[in-house]
Amino acid sequence: MDFDDTPEEAAFRAEVRALLDPHRLEGPGHYRGGHGLAEVLAGQRAWQRTLFEAGWAVPAWPREYGGRGLSAGQRQIWAEELGRIGRRDSMLSGGLGMLGPTLIEHGSEAQKRRFLEPTARGDILWCQLFSEPGAGSDLASLATRAVRDGEGWRITGQKVWSSFANHADMGFLLARTNPNAPKHAGIGFFLVDMKAPGVEVRPLIEMTGGNHFNEVFLADVRVPGENLVGGPDAGWTLARTTLMHERLSIGSFSALAPVERLLAQVRAQGGTDPMTADAMARLWVQARALDLLSARVRTSLARGQHPGAGALVMKNAISDVMLRAADLGMRALGPDALAADGPFQHDFLFAPSMHIGGGTEEIVKSLAAEQGLGLPREPDATKGVPFEALPRSGSAR
Amino acid sequence: MNFAWSEEQDEFRASVRRFVAERWPAAETRRLAASERGFEPEVWRQLAGDLGLAGLAVPEAYGGQGFSMLELSIALDELGRELAGGPFFASACLAVLTIRNVATPAEQAELLPAIASGDAIATLAALDAPGAAGPDAIACTVRAGNLHGAKRFVIDAQNAGLLLIAAREAGSRGEAGVGLYAVDAKSPAVRIELAPGLDLTRKLAHVHLDGAPARRLGASGSAWPGLARTLAEGAIGLASEQIGAASRCLELAVAHAQQRFQFGRPIGAFQAVKHRAVDALTLLELARSAAWWAAWVAASRPDELFDAAVIAHSTACEAFEKAAYECIHLHGGMGFTWEHDAHLYYRRARADRVLFGDPAAHRVRLAGALGLV
């Protein structure tokens, strides 16, 4: 057990820091709702190209695909150092952190050649087209249809909660290829050109007043056969790879960063009352412990071991910290919390989404209970039932 | 960074777990709870001497194994699972750390070998009563080499031959004037009164000092920094013991939820039951991470010791209380019976919150250090 950088890690950190430090971002580098999304995106694309030219666009990817094959420990150092210069968040992460790794694992050689490099360069902004109005937590009950059309497919349906789809170049989409199979079988994973005829994107305004999400309507959209990843029935397996990478990226956030921002605000205003101070100290303790849990999980991953039950509880724990930090931030503001804008208003309004996106609090807990504690699954009434025969919302009589 | 135990440490953990499972399972702890001693001398001899646990943290030069807080925390974790160990925590952890932190090398050479072999049992009474207070909570005084005053709820004092007592020079205040004194428990001026406790499996006693002859350890009037360090290390050690106990509580609860059928299925298949168990798991995994790190800090990063103690202690108290409560709740009515072990853990969890001061009290100082008040 040793929490200091090894000599190799220290050398790696120094190398990364020398590369990144001249590029410290002043001002907001990530999109926090409201206007300015296009400007932020342009800045992030330019930065991704800079990284690409330096050979650091996708350091976590294997070398043969333009990456540097970083170890789990090195990836953490890379993320920490990106955070230090204010460039950790990126709207391009759907491609860099989710679609890219999925293609590397499951894509054909032709798909890898065609998509990986432009994705790494930031030329393709990817959006995820998974959730549907009728398929949220039970994603596998999705109803968007993909019907064969010669060598290709015709896709019809509706997607929702698709981040940045209104700016995206491409989407990765799940659609039902075989409605007569049970729900998990008979799903395909498609790469869809967002400019294709029949794709219509309608921005959703969230409760923050900002716009991350979109509804995406697909009306008989023609998708060429070479844009199907894996077999026509392999979509669910691929989606699990993609979602695992999404959860990993959520779990790699530092829990301490939002708490430090809160403490800085309180210090700047000369402190707070003892009860609020205690709640903040307790939150600080929780965030420190969570960052330690995250470090423990990374060590397991780096050693090729199963990360254990700890990894399964991190997403909910970080969501709790963010909710609490936002609430205490508002408390610290006193009467100024009544204003529309301020240092914590956006966090406060954004916080309820933390326990919904990327697996709801309840879904995550059930997974942790089943996979981490070995508790039995609940009987699934839909097991083995063909998709066509499933009861759906609104169908109950 | 490497957040993992070494192969040797894993083997050590396995050997302690085997020993505890064979010789000191919870059923044995429960049987011994009725006794004044709380341990079986032959089993203590094996644990202390044969396994070498009593001298884990004693330097090799003084007859010990020369290990750090890391190995101590492994032993405490494994003993904690079965609420076992008797005077291990008081003697091998608190007393040894106190002597190392305060006493001179010559005094260490004299006192530590007998503790390391398990022949002598020692304990520490730092504050006059357990709590989070500072040196002002020491009113015991030394006059002409004799101690006057009382120490309440001293861990395993009824088993100790050597009492390590913090006392102040008459008229002194605060940190200055606090010294550490070695007192022979057999002295006629010492009265030890067993204190039947909320926690049935950790023995406590009040120590009354009525002019007890005492020998000062370390330099005059300057023991407080070493004592404060010991209290922080003790809280970190306790956190590991709590993690072991909490893990056991959760294991018992989960095992029950897997085999108890109601409404035609194991109750563990119901979401409401799963989610309670996962709430306990979440707190436990956070606390476990904090406890392991804190043990490393105690061994390697003295400047972060006090932060580490607050983080480990605070998270471990919450995790153990939650796990002990859920262990009762998920066992239903059976969990509420005297016969079930669940209440032994529940009692231990609440008592542990008091031994080194409530985490909330420590957070007052933390809030100050963070610049919040």
Q: Are residues A225 and A136 in the same domain?
A: yes
| Closest-CA residue of chain A to B1 | A3
Mean per-residue pLDDT over chain B, rounded = 97
Is this prediction's pTM over 0.90?
Answer: yes
Q: Are residues B147 and B110 in the same domain?
A: no
* CA neighbor of A194 nearest in space, from A183, A202, A185: A202
- A245 belongs to a structural domain: no
Enclosing domain of residue A295: 253-372
Q: Are residues B229 and B259 in the same domain?
A: yes
Residue B18's CB: how many other CB atoms inside 10 A?
A: 12
Quote the tokens at residue B248: 């056991």
Residue type, B137: A
The pLDDT-based confidence of A282 (bands split at 50, 70, 90) is very high
Residues 283-312 in B contacting A (C-alpha not used; CB under 8 Å): 285-290, 292-293, 295-296, 300-301, 307, 310-311
Predicted pLDDT of residue A397: 44
* Domain end among B76, B100, B117: B117
Q: A266 and B372: CB-CB below 8 Å?
A: yes
- Compute the distance between CA of residue B105 and CA of residue A183 in angstroms, rounded to an integer: 72
Residue type, B156: D
pLDDT single digits (tens) B186-219: 999 999 999 999 999 999 999 999 999 999 999 9
Q: Are residues B12 and B24 in the same domain?
A: yes
Q: Are residues A73 and A176 in the same domain?
A: no
pLDDT single digits (tens) B245-298: 999 999 999 999 999 999 999 999 999 999 999 999 999 999 999 999 999 999
| Closest-CA residue of chain B to A263 | B372
Q: Stretch A160-167: mean pLDDT, rounded?
A: 95
- A115 belongs to a structural domain: no
CATH of residue B178's domain is: 2.40.110.10
Q: B265 and A267: CB-CB below 8 Å?
A: no
CATH of residue A180's domain is: 2.40.110.10
Q: Are residues B251 and B347 in the same domain?
A: yes
Chain A interface includes B259 (CB < 8 A)? no
Q: Are residues B347 and B262 in the same domain?
A: yes
- Compute the distance between CA of residue A336 and CA of residue B299 in angstroms, rounded to an integer: 46
Chain B interface includes A119 (CB < 8 A)? no
Residues from chain B contacting residue A9 (CB–CB below 8 Å): 1
Q: A299 and B4: CB-CB below 8 Å?
A: yes
- Shortest Cα distance from B51 to chain A (angstroms)? 23
Q: Are residues A288 and A312 in the same domain?
A: yes
CB A326 within 8 A of CB A337: no
Residues from chain B contacting residue A374 (CB–CB below 8 Å): 254, 258
Q: Are residues B362 and B229 in the same domain?
A: yes
What is the phi/psi pair of residue A34, to 5°? Answer: 80, -155
Q: Are residues A131 and A82 in the same domain?
A: no
How many inter-chain contacts (A to B, CB under 8 Å) are there?
167
- Shortest Cα distance from B26 to chain A (angstroms)? 22
The beta-carbon neighbor of A277 closest among B254, B281, B367 is B367
- A17 belongs to a structural domain: yes
Mean per-residue pLDDT over chain A, rounded = 91
- B273 belongs to a structural domain: yes
Q: Are residues A361 and A293 in the same domain?
A: yes
Residue with more model confidence, A30 or B250: B250
Q: Are residues A222 and A298 in the same domain?
A: no
The beta-carbon neighbor of B281 closest among A73, A281, A309 is A309
Residue B10 has pLDDT above 80, yes or no: yes
- B2 belongs to a structural domain: no
Q: Are residues A356 and A258 in the same domain?
A: yes
Q: Are residues A236 and A170 in the same domain?
A: yes
pLDDT single digits (tens) B213-244: 999 999 988 999 999 999 999 999 999 999 99
Angle between helices B342-355 and B224-259 (to 10 degrees): 160
Quote the tokens at residue A247: 């959860």
- A108 belongs to a structural domain: no
Q: Are residues B53 and B105 in the same domain?
A: yes
Q: Are residues B163 and B50 in the same domain?
A: no
Chain A interface includes B254 (CB < 8 A)? yes
CATH of residue B74's domain is: 1.10.540.10
Beta bridge partners, A328, equal none
Quote the tokens at residue B178: 């606090």
The pLDDT-based confidence of A189 (bands split at 50, 70, 90) is very high
CATH of residue B318's domain is: 1.20.140.10
Number of domains in chain A: 3
Residues 3-32 in B contacting A (C-alpha not used; CB under 8 Å): 3-6, 9
Q: Are residues A258 and A174 in the same domain?
A: no
**Which of the residues B5, B263, B275, B278 would you substitute to probe the A interface, choosing the one with the greatest number of A C-beta atoms within 10 Å?**
B278
Residues from chain B contacting residue A293 (CB–CB below 8 Å): 285-286, 288-289
Q: Are residues A173 and A199 in the same domain?
A: yes
The pLDDT-based confidence of A395 (bands split at 50, 70, 90) is low
Chain A interface includes B365 (CB < 8 A)? no
Give, in degrees to the nearest 5, the angle at Cα B264 between B261 and B267: 40
- B230 belongs to a structural domain: yes
Enclosing domain of residue B324: 225-369
| Closest-CA residue of chain A to B297 | A3
Predicted pLDDT of residue A37: 81
Residues for chain B: how many in total? 373
- Shortest Cα distance from B4 to chain A (angstroms)? 5
Residue B312 has pLDDT above 60, yes or no: yes
- A381 belongs to a structural domain: no
- List C-alpha distances in Å: A234 to A113, A147, A184, A231, B52: 21, 15, 9, 5, 57
pLDDT single digits (tens) B47-87: 999 999 999 999 999 999 999 999 999 999 999 999 999 99
Question: How much is the CA Rg of chain A, to the nearest whole Å?
Answer: 22
Residue A248 has pLDDT above 80, yes or no: no
Q: Are residues B51 and B87 in the same domain?
A: yes
Q: Stretch B106-117: mean pLDDT, rounded?
A: 98
> What is the ipTM score, two decimals?
0.95
Q: A296 and B315: CB-CB below 8 Å?
A: no
- Compute the distance between CA of residue B231 and CA of residue B267 in angstroms, rounded to an integer: 42
Q: B372 and A272: CB-CB below 8 Å?
A: yes
pLDDT single digits (tens) A43-83: 999 999 999 999 999 999 999 999 999 987 888 889 889 98
Give, in degrees to the nearest 5, the angle at Cα A346 between A341 and A350: 155
Residue type, B108: Q
Per-residue burial over A324-346, b if 16 or more Cβ lie within 10 Å, else e, is bbbbbbbbbbeeeeeeeebbbbb
CB A137 within 8 A of CB A363: yes
Q: Are residues B231 and B332 in the same domain?
A: yes
Number of domains in chain B: 3
- B40 belongs to a structural domain: yes
Chain B interface includes A292 (CB < 8 A)? yes
CATH of residue A258's domain is: 1.20.140.10
- Shortest Cα distance from A115 to chain B (angstroms)? 35
Q: Are residues B59 and B130 in the same domain?
A: no
- A48 belongs to a structural domain: yes
* Domain end among A66, A91, A116: A91
- Compute the distance between CA of residue A348 and CA of residue A325 in angstroms, rounded to an integer: 9
Residue A33 has pLDDT above 80, yes or no: no
Q: Are residues B214 and B311 in the same domain?
A: no
- A290 belongs to a structural domain: yes
Residue with more model confidence, A122 or A305: A122
- Compute the distance between CA of residue B146 and CA of residue B214 in angstroms, rounded to an integer: 5
- Compute the distance between CA of residue A204 and CA of residue A98 in angstroms, rounded to an integer: 23
- A188 belongs to a structural domain: yes
* Domain end among B175, B199, B221: B221
Residues 32-91 in B contacting A (C-alpha not used; CB under 8 Å): 70
* CA neighbor of A88 nearest in space, from A29, A17, A163, A9: A29
Residue type, A260: E
- Shortest Cα distance from A376 to chain B (angstroms)? 5
Which residues of A does the annotation mark as catalytic?
A: 246
- Compute the distance between CA of residue B361 and CA of residue B365 in angstroms, rounded to an integer: 7
* CA neighbor of A131 nearest in space, from A171, A97, A91: A171
Distance of CA A44 to the CA centre of its chain: 16
* Domain end among B117, B149, B164: B117
Q: A278 and B371: CB-CB below 8 Å?
A: no
Residue A27 has pLDDT above 70, yes or no: no
Quote the tokens at residue A326: 């936002």
Percentage above 90 pLDDT, chain B? 98
CB B285 within 8 A of CB B258: no
Residue A138 has pLDDT above 60, yes or no: yes
Q: Convert chain A into a string of H (helix), E (strand) and C (coil).
A: CECCCCHHHHHHHHHHHHHHHHHCCCCCCCCCCCCCHHHHHHHHHHHHHHHHHHCCCCCCCCHHHCCCCCCHHHHHHHHHHHHHCCCCCCCCHHHHHHHHHHHHHHCCHHHHHHHHHHHHHCCCCEEEECCECCECCCHHHCCCEEEEECCEEEEEEEECCCCCCCCCCEEEEEEECCCCCECCCCEEEEEEECCCCCEEEEECCCCCCCCCCEEEEEEEEEECHHHEECCCCCHHHHHHHHHHHHHHHHHCCCCHHHHHHHHHHHHHCCCCCHHHHHHHHHHHHHHHHHHHHHHHHHHHHHCCCCCCHHHHHHHHHHHHHHHHHHHHHHHHHHHHHHCCCCCCHHHHHHHHHCCCCCCCHHHHHHHHHHHHCCCCCCCCCCCCCEHHHCCCCCCCC
Residues from chain B contacting residue A372 (CB–CB below 8 Å): 278, 281
